[in-house]
A and B are shown apart, each in its own frame.
Chain A
Amino acid sequence: MRTQNATAYRFLTPYLLVFAVFWIWPIVSSFLISFQATRTVPWRFAPTFNWGRLIGDPAFYNALKNTLLILVIQVPVMISLAIVMAVLLNSPLLKARGLYRFAFFAPVVVGEVAYSAVFRLMFSLDFGIVNKLLESVGLAKIDWFSNVTPAMALIMIAVTWRWAGYNAILILAGLQSIPEDVYEAATLDRVSKLKQFLYITLPLLKPVIVFCAVLSIIGTMQLFTEPFLITERGGPGGGTETLGLLLYRQGFRSLNFGYASAVAYTMAGLAIAITLVQLWLTREPK
C-alpha cells in the first residue's frame, strides 16, 4: 500500500501540536523541574534538593498515607457497589429500569464543586440533615469535620457517591457484551444463578473490572477537590490532606514548583506501577 504521509500529517498536525506542547513537553519538563531548586532566581540544578526533602518530609508521608488509605478502602467498596448496581440494573425482572438508572447514573454529571457544597451542608454538625436524621432515630450525632476518622469517612462517602454510577456504566456495558446463550446453556445444565454469577459473569467481566479499578485508583490518587472544599483544605489539621492537595499547597500556595514536581512524579510513579499491574492481570493467557 502506498504511504500517504503528506495527507495523514495534514490531518494530524493540529492535534499533535497541542498534544506535544501541552502534554508531552510538560511530562518531560516536570521531571526536569523536580531536580531543580526553584526558589532561587535563576533556578539551579540540584538533583537531591527536592527529592531529598521529600524523603524526610512528614507532610509528604502524611499525604501519602491518607491517599493510600482512601485508595485501599474506597476503591474496593465502590467497585463492589458498582458491580452490584450493574448486575441488578441488568436483571430482566427489574421494572421502571429508567428510574433506577437515573438514580445511580445522575451523579456522573454533577460537578465536583456543586456536590462538595451539598455534602458539606448535609454533614454539618448541628444543622446537617445527616446528623438530624441520626438523632431522630436515637443515634448520637457525628462531628464529621473536627475528627480525622469521620472526616476521612466523609471524603470516601462523597467520592463513592460521585463515581459508583460511572463505574456501573462501564461494567453494565461489559455485562451486555456477554452473549446470552452462555447463560442459557448453564441454565439448561441446572447451574444456580449464584454459581452462574461467580463462574461465568465475574471471570468474563475481569478485564472491565480491572480497567475500572485502575481508572479509579488513578483518579483517587489525584484526589483534590473533595478534601480542598469539603474538609476545608485537608482538615482537620492535615488529617485529610492528600498528595493532590500537597502538590497544590506546595506548587501554588508556596510557589515551590520543584518540590511540587517531585510530588507529582511520585504520583506518576505510583500510576505507572498500577498500570503495569493491570497489564499483568489482564495479559492474554498463553
Chain B
Amino acid sequence: MNVRMIVTSLGTSAAMLAATVAQAEDGYDAPAEWPSPVVEHLRGSLLVDRLEYARPDEGDDALVWDFQAWYGGDVNRLYLKGEGENVQGDGEDAEFESLDLLYSRLIAPFWELQGGIGYQGGIATDDHLKRYFGVINLLGVVPYRLETDAGLRVSDDGDISASLESEYDLRITQRLYLQPRIEMSASADEVPEFGVGKGLNSIRTGLRLRYEFHRKFAPYIGGYWQKAYGDTADMARAEGESVEDTGIVAGIRMWY
C-alpha cells in the first residue's frame, strides 16, 4: 500500500488525519489540511541471496534457496526469511530448513535485532518432519564489512540451538565479486529425529564468484565444503549418510 497514492488520488480522511497528526506534532502552525512537506513511505524489498543448483560429490543434486524479504520503515521492519532445498530424485517434496517471520528493529547503525517465529519442515506436504521455533536474531555488518546473521532458536519441544552465518563480498572489479561464506550450527540438546546432536553440529563454507550484469541480477558459480561434528556426525554415519562433503554450485543472486 502506498501512502502517497492514497493521499494524492483518493485523499481519504484517514490519510489526511495521519498527515495532520504528524504536522501538529511539529507545531509550526500549518493548517490541518496541508500535506507534510516531506512524506515518508514504507517500502519493501526482496533479496534472493542464493538460488542455486548444487551438485555434491556424494549424494543427490539439490535445488537450494536462501532469501529474505522485508517491509517497513527505516527502523521497524517485518522480515520473512527462508532457507531450504529440494533434493532431486529422493521422491520427496521441497523442505524449509528454516522459514522465519520476524519483527526487526534497528538498534545500532549497522545492527538489527529480530524476533519472531520459525518453522522447519516440508512445504505443504508431510514428507518431512516439522517443528516450530521461537527465534531471536542479530543481523548486521561487523567492522570490515562481514555481513552476519546470528540466531538463537528454541523449538516447540524446548530444544535450544544456535546458528551463525557470515559472508563477505570481495570486489574484484566493479561487477565481479568473490563471496566467501561460512555457516555454523550448534545445539544445546540432542534431537535425534532431526539428526541433531549436542554441541557443534556442522560447519559449511562456500566460495562463490558472481558477476553483476545488473545490480539486481547476478549469476554465480562456486563450491562448498561441509562437515558434521560430534554426535551429529555419529547419527549421520549410523544413517549411512556422509559426514563430510564437497560440491559445486551454479545459481543466481537477485533483489528488488
- A-B interaction: no
- Which A residues are within 8 Å of any B CB, using their own CB? none
- Which B residues are within 8 Å of any A CB, using their own CB? none
